[in-house]
Amino acid sequence: MGLEKLTISVENEGATLVFGNSFVALFNPDKLVFSKTANWRKQNAKQRDCPELQFSNAEPRTLHLELLFDTYDPDDPALKDQDVRTKYTDKIFHLTTVEKHGELHRPPVCRLSWGSAGCIFQGVLQQLEQQFILFAENGTPVRAKLSCTFMEWSNNDLNKQNPESSDIAKMHELKRGETLSSIAAKNYLDPRLWRAIAIENAIDDPLDLKTGSQLLLPPLPIRRS
């Protein structure tokens, strides 16, 4: 049996939590750091050396790991200046964005699996730091180290976040014949809120809209202007 690689599976768009596309780490991480925080409140306790503690709440678990990606091969001219971003790291970067997951209206949930251990963590990519540490002669980044922190996601969380709700930000693809007023009417039940969409997307001329462009719809409440 060959070396098992860490695999990241990405949530499909839809009403149920189903994982579809996946990609594997080029090199396995050398360690996995799991963290869990419980918050306690200190209670005033006179004439005591140690205050009384009252449990407040628990934070979601987190998983921190570092991944290395490399496209540089000095013996292969075709690979001497292949951009590590387009081949590898952009896939992970997009786990933090809404744009590539429009129907979800949020970044996707990920499931991390590794060999016989199966699923080791399910969560969202909370924080990503990319360090490009090797460059080709033309300046193309060819090696990157990614520092990733995933935050735990419960299956119950899916039921609490209705992507059709108007109180969360979401992406909208502009269709032929749509106007900002019609989009506001559909999403906010008030066509007069079109201006909030224009401001959010830096649209100077609401009559000059390009079919297929992506609009970010801000969440309610919105003040009318």
Q: How many CA atoms lie within 13 A of 179 on its CB side?
A: 12
Convert the pLDDT of each residue in 186-213 to its tens digit.
877 788 889 989 998 999 999 999 998 8
15-69 pLDDT, tens digit each = 556 787 899 999 999 999 999 999 999 887 777 778 888 888 999 999 999 999 9
Render pLDDT for 92-140 as a digit per residue (tens, 0 to 9).
999 999 887 767 778 999 999 998 888 899 999 999 999 999 999 899 9
Query: What pTM was estimated for this model as a whole?
Result: 0.68
Alpha-carbon gap, residue 112 to 33, rounded angstroms:
13
Distance CA 178, CA 210 (A): 10
Q: For residue 221, what pLDDT is reported?
A: 61
Burial of 45 (0-12, 13-18, 19+ CB in 10 A): exposed
Whether 170 and 163 have beta carbons less than 8 Å apart is answered as yes
Angle at alpha carbon of residue 153, lines to 147 and 158, rounded to 5°: 135
Q: Which amino acid is at 79?
A: L
- Asked if pLDDT for residue 225 goes beyond 80, the answer is no
Handedness of CA 25, 28, 31, 36 (dihedral sign): positive
Distance of CA 5 to the CA centre of its chain: 22
d(CA 52, CA 110): 39
Q: Which domains, ranges and CATH numbers included, belong to the chain?
A: 6-160 (2.40.30), 170-217 (3.10.350.10)
CA distance 32 to 64: 6
Beta strand pairing call for 62-70 and 33-35: antiparallel
